A and B are shown apart, each in its own frame.
Chain A
Amino acid sequence: MQDPRSSAKAMAAKGETGGTVIIDTGCANLSSVRFAFERLGAAVTVTDEPGLIKAATRVVLPGVGSAGAAMAALEAKGLVELIQGLTQPVLGVCLGMQLLSLLSKERGGRSEDCRCLGLIPTRIEPLADKGLPLPHMGWNQIVPTAHPLFAGIAPGSYVYFVHSYRAPISAFTLASSEYGETFSAAIGKDNFMGVQFHPEKSAAVGAQILANFLTMGAESSTSAQADQAAKEAKS
């Protein structure tokens, strides 16, 4: 398998920036997320280099495993503040979505709740499964809101979930699903969006959601850069 990072290095060497960047969190579903975007014909870069992430048109934060380990990995790479400061569209996938919240109750052997990136004001708690098998694993139906990430996705569409923790229904819910209780299948605030399910494994429905994400950012990123340039010009 070709190392995805080699293309990032080549880009950096050539001074190319922009496009869709997947943050290299070192987690296991990194390849699958990249493959899904590539099936849509998108050029994606997998990297943990701050310059490339900042310059991206849009950013994907993948993740599987436990919140504590993933936050520790982001801290070790010095990416926490960088992600918090991103102004372009950011899509968290599965654990990546959970990391966008204030905190996670998934302690993973630690004595305290896991502080997350604090970008979407909601908290990650155990799924109230009401005796159903856990993890919540398999294809379940979502009811999306009118958010552009879900353009063309009908209520009742099936997507693939694997998780035991969830964000509750809140003002930041972009789509809901039901397993023992109704929970957030997707959350969002401003430029930050997250999906609890795996769009990269959700057949045609997932591909549509990723394609929707690929249409975002071209303008807002330009205006954000323009704002930044304006600020720098003033100071």
Chain B
Amino acid sequence: MLAKRIVPCLDVKDGKVVKGVQFRNHEIVGDIVPLAARYAREGADELVFYDITASAHERVVDKSWVSRVAEQLDIPFCVAGGIKTIAQARELLAFGADKISINSPALTDPTLISRLQDEFGRQCIVIGIDSFYDQASDSYKVKQFTGDEAATRDTQWYTQDWVEEVQRRGCGEIVLNVMNQDGVRGGYDIQQLSLVRAICDVPLIASGGAGTMAHFRDVFLQAGVDAALAASVFHKGIIDIGELKAYLKGQGVAIRHSRPE
């Protein structure tokens, strides 16, 4: 049976992990490779690296760390952040990234999705969507440039419309980041994720809001997502991946155990 995936997300800047990561016994800060390997050993099914290095004035950002990760890591990983062109995508995939994730540049130019799909196949094209509940219109809408608070802006897109549009253009997977819940650790937005699940024919990854192990159970069993992404609960050592997977298995969620029984 296809297992539900647990996906830790790491913020990377100038080739280093930005925030410290607290494992059970000690904290590892900085080097990407040992951190990534540690998560893989603990049972992470996949990793996302969000590169927040600013590329002001089209400065070329050094992505060679991707190759160092690929050399060591024996689980799939995705690189997100600042990918605007076919050439940038090609470089990351050649370095060994399994997937690339596009967010704001796809909103600026939706044809980027189809062009990436034509070039590399849909299996490696992930679309990140930052969605929020707009009280005024009682609907879900998409925000752009959320990486920079000053630049963040609303778009014309209703979330469901954009989810359908990116699938039409050939993405292979969608990460739905629900902003109202992000960082609060009050749980995934089950209602919104269920709505999107119903119109999403590609794998769907939930993002934003994970605080407890029960939140993971709920998002898998109630919203039917394929994977759950989280950052702070793993980095701060609030949830241990091994314990989480044992718990989910006990709750009837299909989960990969590292060792066959």
Contact = CB atoms under 8 A, between A and B. Distances in A.
Contacts of A156: 260-261
B121 A134 contact: no
A139 B202 contact: no
Contact of A139 (B3, B67, B98, B120): B3
B136 interface: no
B206 interface: no
Contact of A138 (B45, B67, B71, B95): B45
A66 B121 CA distance: 7
B189 interface: no
Contacts of B96: 31-32, 35
Contacts of B76: 160, 162, 198, 201
B111 interface: no
Nearest to B200: A133
Contacts of B204: 133
B203 interface: yes
A133 B163 CA distance: 14
A205 interface: yes
Interface string A134-166: 111111110000000000011111101011100
Contacts of B75: 160, 201-203
A218 interface: no
Nearest to A161: B2
Contact of B1 (A141, A164, A204): A141
Nearest to B71: A35
B203 A133 contact: yes
Please classify how large the interface on chain B is, using the bins under 10, 10 to 19, 20 to 34, 35 or more: 35 or more
Contacts of B2: 132, 136, 138-140, 179
Interface residues of A, number: 43
A216 interface: no
Interface in A35-72: 35-36, 38-39, 64-66
A154 B260 contact: yes
B102 interface: no
B71 to A, nearest CB: 5
Contact of A1 (B46, B67, B122, B260): B67
A16 interface: no
Contact of A137 (B1, B121, B173): B173
A136 B3 CA distance: 11
A24 interface: no
Count chain A CB atoms within 10 A of each CB in B5, B45, B76 and give the residue with the most: B76
Contacts of A200: 74
Contacts of A163: 123
A206 interface: yes
Interface string A24-36: 0000110110011
A148 B154 CA distance: 57
A89 to B, nearest CB: 22
A135 B67 contact: no
Contacts of B261: 154, 156
A137 B123 contact: yes
Nearest to A141: B1
Count chain B CB atoms within 10 A of each CB in A153, A198, A203 and give the residue with the most: A203
Nearest to A66: B121
A207 interface: yes
B40 A139 contact: no
Given A35-B72, A203-B75, 16 more contacts: A1-B67, A1-B95, A28-B94, A31-B67, A64-B121, A66-B121, A135-B122, A137-B203, A138-B45, A155-B260, A158-B256, A158-B257, A200-B74, A203-B258, A204-B258, A205-B260
Interface of A: 1, 28-29, 31-32, 35-36, 38-39, 64-66, 132-141, 153-158, 160, 162-164, 178-179, 198, 200-207
Interface of B: 1-3, 5, 40, 45-46, 64, 67, 70-72, 74-76, 93-96, 98, 120-124, 172-173, 200-204, 226-227, 256-261
5 tightest CB-CB pairs across the interface, nearest first?
A154-B260, A158-B256, A28-B93, A139-B256, A31-B96
10 contacts: A31-B70, A39-B71, A132-B2, A133-B200, A133-B226, A138-B45, A138-B46, A138-B203, A140-B1, A164-B123
